[in-house]
Structure 1
Amino acid sequence: MLVDCHVNIYNDDQVTPLYAKQAGLARAAGLAPKADADTLAREMADVDKAIIFSLRYADSIGVDGNDEVTAAAVAKYPDKFVGFAAVDPRMPNCMDLLVHAIEDLKLKGVKFGPIYNGVSLLDPRLEPVYEYLQKNNLPLTMHMGTTYGRNAPVNYGRPLDVDTIALRYPDLKMIMAHMGHPWYEECIVVARKQPNVYCEVSALHYRPWQFYNILVCAQEYTITDRNKIFWGTDFPFARVAESVEGLKNINSQVEGTPLPRVADTTIDYILNSNPFEHWWHGGLAV
């Protein structure tokens, strides 16, 4: 079973000029041109399940999404998609939108980007979000790591604050996206020590040297065989086939050298990772 744990969805009318202005900084090869429901269904043809979410990042990267688009995609492709809600704690109706997304739209988790919304994980405005998620057995995927958006405060992308929140809310399942790049060591040590914290490798394969070092570091801290690391693409920033091949071929750049290898078992664990067994207490039936 191949599960993509990180897929972005937005319609063309939710993209502002800021997105086009900055998107070239994200990846030299460029991004897929669309991320609507039908595009995602085609792109995820080789994936058994995909976790999808909208982005409320209008002022940082120029995508102004909403949960209705996510829910409509799940309704159209129920065998393929599981939807998460988007949270922006700056919005005065943040909790109303969250409750609506979970209780009316039936979304199954939350996505939040502290660096994109300019809100630290330690900000008091997030406390009711954490409490609601913990009470209702809902996981929180967080963008952890840097980004290209000029208006995004870089410091909020660092993973260390996850350690604080994990201790305050021990029953809240938290997932650090992108292994906290380039602060992957912080991500790995937090995931190792906190049983309710996980991480994932989306949008890393196109920086292969960094990706290689991330996985070797994860092995050295012994988190690669404990259902701590999950696979994803971050579409439209990366596609399925290249993300799979980038992981499978990670050792090609060190062939003929004495450098350590990413173990076949590490690669297999990540490719066969199943968030639905681990991100919800008791699992999630899909």
Structure 2
Amino acid sequence: MIVDCHVNIWNEEHVLPLFREQMARIRPGGMSLKADADTLNEAMRGVDRAIVFALRYGDSAGIESDDETTAACVRKYPEKFTGFAYADPRRADCMELLRHAVETLGLKGVKFGPIYNGVPLDDPRMTPIYEYCQKNDLPLTMHMGTTFGANAPLDLGRAIHVDAVARRYPDLKMILAHMGHPWHEECIVCIRKQPNVYAEVSAIFYRPWQFWNTLVCAQEYLVTDKIFWGTDFPFSGVEESIAGLRNVNAVVEGTGLPRVADETIERILHSNPFERWWHRGSPV
């Protein structure tokens, strides 16, 4: 079984000029801006199931999607997608939106991007989100690592800040997206230290040297069983993400440097969040 644990969704009207401007700067070769439900379903043909969520990064990345878009995708393709809500603690109606997403729309987890919303993990506005997630057995996926957004404060993407939250909420399952790149060691020591914290490898295979270092480090810390696979679609696709993982050792071929074990590669590729991220068992 292959599960993509990190898929973004938005419709055309959710893409702001800021996103197009920043994509032109960081990806001059261009990329598809389409990430609607039908596009996602076609793109995810190569996986058994995918976790999908909207982004509310309007003022930093230039995408302002919503939970209704996520829920509509899940309703249209229920055999393929499981939906997570998005939490923006800057909004006065954040908890109202979160309760609606979970209790009315039926979404099964929560996504948050501290670096994009400019809200530190220890901000008091995060407390009701953590408490709601822990009470309702909702895994919390967080963007960890750097970003292209010029308005996003880099320090808020560092996984070291998760440690204190994990100790405060030991029953809250947290997933650190993108292995905290380029601070992957902080991510790895955090998931090693805290039983309720996991990580995932979406959107780092296209930095081959960093990707190899990350997985070798994870092997040395014996945490490869806590790492999950994803794409970060549409920023990267299924086939290229699988190929990037399986070819991770290409950068060290012919050297005496250690290799990422085949067992590690296959364990990550076939990792199943539905077996690990919920205390009460799989939501699907």
TM-score when scaled to structure 1? 0.98
Deviation at 1:32, TM superposition (A): 2.6
Deviations 1:158-199 (A, max 9, x none): 011110000000000000000000000000000001000000
Q: 3-state DSSP class of the match of 1:57?
A: coil
**Which residue of structure 1 lines up, in the alignment, with residue 77 of structure 2?**
77
- Quote the Cα distance in structure 2 between the aligned partners of 1:86 and 1:54: 6
Determine the structure 2 residue equivalent to 1:269: 267
Q: Tell me if structure 1 keeps the 8 A contact 2:205–2:244.
A: yes
Shift of 1:253: 1.5
Alignment-derived partner of residue 249 in structure 1: 247
Farther off after superposition, 143-152 or 30-39: 30-39
Q: Distance in 1 between matches of 2:280 and 2:254?
A: 45
Q: Which residue matches 1:164? A: 164
- The corresponding residue for 2:3 is 3
Look up the equivalent residue of 1:246 and give its one-letter code: G
Structure 1: runs of 5+ lacking an equivalent: none
1:60-91: CA deviation from partner (whole Å, max 9, x where unpaired)? 01101100000000000000000000110000
**Structure 1 runs, 4 residues or longer, greater than 4 Å off:** 25-29
- 2:50 match: 50
C-alpha separation in 2, matches of 1:55 and 1:99: 17
| Correspondence 1:152 to 2:141 | no
What is the one-letter code of the residue matched to 2:95? M
Query: How do 1:57-76 residues align onto structure 2 when only pairs under 5 Å count?
Result: 57-76=57-76
Amino acid at match of 2:244: G
Give the equivalent residue in structure 2 for 1:114: 114
Query: Which deviates further from its counterpart, 23-32 or 237-246?
Result: 23-32
Contact preservation (8 Å) 1:8, 1:35? yes
Compute the displacement of 1:284 (Å).
Answer: 1.1
- In 1, the alpha carbon distance for the partners of 2:260 and 2:205 equals 13
Distance apart, 1:26 and its partner CA: 4.6
In the alignment, is the contact (CA less than 8 A) between 2:108 and 2:283 conserved in 1? Answer: no
Tell whether the 8 Å contact from 1:53 to 1:86 is kept in structure 2 after alignment. yes
What CA deviation, in whole Å up to 9, does each residue of 1:109-130 have, x standing for no partner? 0000000000001100000000
- Residues 137 and 280 in structure 2, CA contact (< 8 A), matched pair in contact too: no
Work out which of the residue numbers 225, 228, 231 in structure 2 matches 1:230: 228
8 Å contact kept, 1:184–1:214:
yes
Change (3 A) 1:188 1:27: farther
Instruction: Find the partner of 2:278 among 273, 277, 280.
Output: 280
Match of 1:194 in 2: 194
Work out whether residues 9 and 40 of structure 1, in 8 Å CA contact, stay in contact via their aligned partners in 2. yes
- 2:95 is paired with a residue whose SS is helix
The percentage of aligned residue pairs carrying the same residue is 67
Deviation per CA, 1:206-228, whole angstroms, max 9, x where unpaired? Answer: 1011000000000111101xx30
Give the TM-score, by structure 2 length: 0.98
Map 1:117-156 onto structure 2 (within 5 A).
117-156=117-156
**Separation in 2, partners of 1:209, 1:142:** 24
SS of corresponding position for 2:24: helix
Provide, for residues 125-177 of structure 1, a one-character-per-residue CA deviation record: whole Å limited to 9, x for no partner.
00000000000000000000000100000010001111000000000000000
